[in-house]
Amino acid sequence: MKLSIVATLYQSALYINEFHSRASTVAQRLVGDDHEIVLINDGSPDDSLELAIKLSKKDPHVVVVDLSRNFGHHKAMMTGLAHARGEYVFLIDSDLEEEPEWLLDFSRQMGQESCDVVYGVQERRKGNWFERWTGQWFYQLFKVLTGFALPQNVVTARLMTKRFVEALLMHQEREVFMAGLWHITGFAQSPYRVKKHNTSKTTYTFRKKMSNLVNSVTSFSNAPLVSIFYIGVSISLFAILYIVYLIAQRLFLAAPLSGWTSVMASIWLLGGMVISFIGVVGIYLAKIFSETKQRPYTIVRDIYGQNQ
């Protein structure tokens, strides 16, 4: 198999037929019949699955992987990549905000630069000023907390070699953050400037965006846990300084009110120490907790199409 086109389905019923037509046309121009189109149904609430199954019956190049429920965009993408058999894998969203025709440009650039990945980067992030501002803020915060400088304004669409995909699938995180995994997998990666369209209302609510932020930071950094430790240490140091101040005031100046200050100083000191100890234990506990569960990040209910 020369080429695999991988796309996830979630509320994609309005776009799936046009996406299939355009993706098939591009694949035929590039590699002829030696290709497959892998569609991952991520528990879509509309009739995306039924339409995809119909396509798999009409077109032998279409493979439909039906997940048992909605697991999330990133996990569905990893499942799609695991089912791709091509020497080159083109990952793209199916909502037509990203053009299937980009595959031709990506392939041309990959041949010129001999790289393993060509990924799309938006010339200008789509959305209103708030979405653009929060997007920039996310990348800056991620860099500060993790030390990784991710390419900004990247899109899902990317053409990858088989060896890059195999290396990417070696990551066994239970909570998947694709942008980070693409970055740390390495290999030669080249950006290509694109203009992303706005064809539908985003399914990424504010709650999902916040969840994605928390997941990305905790997946690639222990900074939140370490910060708890340092906060505890800071409180302890402040309490110690305050105790020294109280002793000096008692010995050399005037006697403070009896009882209240010493009790407060003791509470701060012990509270800071407890938080510090919990922070240290939490650093190790979080690492053990995330590794020992070993739950599958998706479950496949059925596969339709080539050899099923």
- Cα–Cα distance for residue pair 108/117, rounded to 1 Å: 12
Q: What is the pLDDT along the chain (308 residues), one digit of tens a residue?
A: 889 999 999 988 888 999 999 999 999 998 888 899 999 998 888 888 999 998 988 888 999 999 999 888 888 999 999 999 989 999 998 888 888 999 999 999 988 888 999 988 887 655 555 565 555 666 666 666 666 666 677 888 999 999 999 999 988 877 777 777 888 888 888 988 888 777 555 555 556 666 666 666 666 666 777 777 777 788 778 878 877 877 777 777 665 556 666 677 777 777 777 777 777 677 677 767 777 777 788 888 998 886 55
The pLDDT value given to residue 103: 93
Question: Cα-flanking dihedrals φ and ψ of residue 46, to 5°?
Answer: -95, -160
Instruction: Name the token pair of 295.
Output: 């739950």
Output the CA angle 11-12-14, nearest 5 degrees: 110
The pLDDT value given to residue 3: 92
| Cβ proximity of 208 and 138 under 8 Å | no
| Cβ proximity of 87 and 1 under 8 Å | yes
CATH of domain 3-221: 3.90.550.10
- Cα–Cα distance for residue pair 80/96, rounded to 1 Å: 18
The count of other CB atoms within 10 Å of the CB of residue 253 is 8
How do residues 253-306 score in pLDDT, each as one tens digit? 665 556 666 677 777 777 777 777 777 677 677 767 777 777 788 888 998 886
Instruction: Name the token pair of 71.
Output: 């697991």
| Cβ proximity of 283 and 229 under 8 Å | yes
The pLDDT value given to residue 275: 77
Residues 6 or more apart in contact with residue 10 via CB below 8 angstroms: 42, 43, 44, 48, 70, 73, 76, 203
Instruction: Name the token pair of 244.
Output: 């020294």
In this structure, is the dihedral angle defined by the CA atoms of residues 167, 170, 176 and 180, taken in order, positive or negative?
negative
Question: Three-class SS string for the chain?
Answer: CCEEEEEEECCCCCCHHHHHHHHHHHHHHHHCCCEEEEEEECCCCCCHHHHHHHHHHHCCCEEEEEECCCCCHHHHHHHHHHHCCCCEEEECCCCCCCCCCHHHHHHHHHHHHCCCEEEEEECCCCCCHHHHHHHHHHHHHHHHHHCCCCCCCEEEEEEEEHHHHHHHCCCCCCCCCHHHHHHHHCCCEEEEEECCCCCCCCCCCHHHHHHHHHHHHHHHCCHHHHHHHHHHHHHHHHHHHHHHHHHHHHHHCCCCCCCHHHHHHHHHHHHHHHHHHHHHHHHHHHHHHHHHCCCCCCCEEEEEECCC
The pLDDT value given to residue 297: 81
Q: Domain coordinates of the chain in residue numbers?
A: 3-221, 223-292
User: pTM of the entire structure?
Assistant: 0.72
| Cβ proximity of 149 and 169 under 8 Å | no
- Cα–Cα distance for residue pair 154/141, rounded to 1 Å: 16
